Amino acid sequence: MVVDDTYRTINGEGQAELKVEGSRFVAEIYPVETREDVEAHLEVVRERERKASHHCFAYRLGRDGDDFRYDDDGEPSGTAGQPILRQIDGRDLTNTLIIVTRYFGGTKLGTGGLMRAYADAADAALERATIVEKVVRTPVRLRFAYDDTAPARQVLQHFDAEVTDSDYTDVTELTVGVRASEVEAFVEAFRNGLSDRGEILSVGEHESEA
């Protein structure tokens, strides 16, 4: 089974403003991990921009990006939320929220004009954001004797693994963040490399990202 252990997201917030026929479109982009994060940002923007006509948004969440939503917030159906989401999807992003606040300028833009305006505003905000690739790591807790330090280190060096916690007493215990796609191979290599003298205390109690 092939495990997808990377995803693309943004690193930090960003903002861009667009004016079309007198209307102002203010796009703000946020890294988010939960729906609670989304609601918190929406609450802040709605409170801060109370005089705005609309607060349209879209988000995609999760390592696989399977949790998403878009909202036109009173604009004609399909003219705001979907164009914003398409900008997120066009860059293959997840854990990303874009809110586009509109201040109506007195001139109706029509369906096509609205779709272009919301898409362009979201695109401008994304252009100012830093896109990063994150690796999903599974924690593996190891225990081995001091005399087995060298072979244990050799195993670590052959994998994309990061030591996140360590405890040195009469034995060594390490928590290692291993790429999700390499966990099974790592466990096997550790056991073979130490000729079954080492112990695997736990695998995958939680996942981390780097």
Note the pLDDT tens digit of each residue in 86-101: 999 999 999 999 999 9
User: Tell me: domain 6-129, CATH 3.30.499.10, correct?
Assistant: no
Q: What is the pTM of this model?
A: 0.78
Q: What is the pLDDT of residue 160?
A: 87
CA distance 174 to 190: 12
Are the C-beta atoms of 23 and 117 separated by less than 8 Å?
A: yes
CA distance 128 to 50: 25
Delimit the CATH 3.30.70.240 region(s) of the chain.
136-209
CA distance 114 to 76: 9
Which residues, 6+ apart, have CB-to-CB distance to 161 below 8 Å? 137, 140, 176, 177, 178, 179, 182, 186
Q: Which residues of the chain have pLDDT under 70?
A: 1-4, 205-210
Tokens 């403003």 map to which residue?
Answer: 17
Q: How far is CA 173 from CA 78, 159, 161, in A?
A: 55, 18, 15
CA distance 189 to 11: 34
Q: What is the pLDDT of residue 208?
A: 52
Delimit the CATH 3.30.230.30 region(s) of the chain.
6-129
Angle between helices 183-193 and 149-157 in degrees, nearest 10: 150
Q: What is the pLDDT of residue 5?
A: 81
For domain 136-209, give its CATH number from 3.40.710.10, 3.30.70.240, 3.20.20.140, 3.90.950.20: 3.30.70.240
Q: What is the pLDDT of residue 3?
A: 47
Q: What is the pLDDT of residue 64?
A: 83
State pLDDT tens for residues 31-59: 999 999 999 999 999 999 989 999 999 99
For 55, the token pair is 């607060």
